[in-house]
């Protein structure tokens, strides 16, 4: 009881501190939280792009699950179909409105096909390092760009 009350109290202190920081330097705080380049996408493109992104995340989740179940061939198919450089993804990357973002997007999808190839070998170590390589594109593009 005492412990949980203490927890609530400490939690409130932290919340207060967070609000205080926002009040004192709202601009500073804002600048620190988002320095990414905007792609300036249209409203329609935004929805389309986010839907693609959610599919990418789902594909990664499926691939990890299938690897854990030792179903490498199915994981390979998902990698090629959902993360690989299909004509549709090639078109989508070309519409990002920023040369560097397009370049990153295309390299990302190429790495998706490489991931598919690695999974086809059934070698877990190779597949994990290919997955890591692919996910590094997710991380670096997200660090650099926003919609």
**Smallest separation, CB 119 to ligand HEC (Å):** 14
Residue entry with tokens 């854990």? 68
The site for ligand HEC (CB under 6 A) is made up of 39, 50, 53-54, 56-57, 60, 101, 104-105, 108, 135, 137-138, 141-142, 145-147
**Smallest separation, CB 142 to ligand HEC (Å):** 6
Nearer to ligand HEC, 16 or 61 (CB): 61
CA dihedral for 119, 124, 126, 132, sign (positive or negative): positive
- The radius of gyration of the chain from alpha carbons, rounded to an integer in Å, stands at 20
Pick from 145, 33, 36, 47: which is nearest to 97 by CA?
Answer: 145
Nearer to ligand HEC, 28 or 55 (CB): 55
């Amino acid at each position: 009881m005492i412990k949980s009350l203490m927890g609530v109290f400490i939690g409130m202190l932290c919340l207060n501190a967070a609000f205080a920081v926002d009040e004192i330097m709202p601009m500073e705080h804002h600048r620190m939280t988002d320095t990414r380049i905007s792609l300036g996408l249209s409203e329609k493109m935004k929805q389309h792009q986010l839907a693609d992104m959610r599919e990418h995340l789902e594909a990664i989740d499926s691939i990890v699950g299938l690897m854990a179940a030792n179903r490498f061939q199915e994981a390979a198919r998902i990698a090629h179909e959902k993360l690989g450089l299909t004509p549709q993804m090639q078109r989508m990357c070309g519409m990002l409105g920023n040369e560097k973002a397009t370049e990153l997007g295309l390299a990302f999808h190429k790495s998706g096909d490489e991931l598919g190839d690695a999974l086809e070998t059934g070698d877990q170590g190779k597949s994990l390092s290919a997955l890591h390589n692919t996910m590094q594109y997710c991380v670096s593009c997200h660090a650099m760009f926003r919609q």
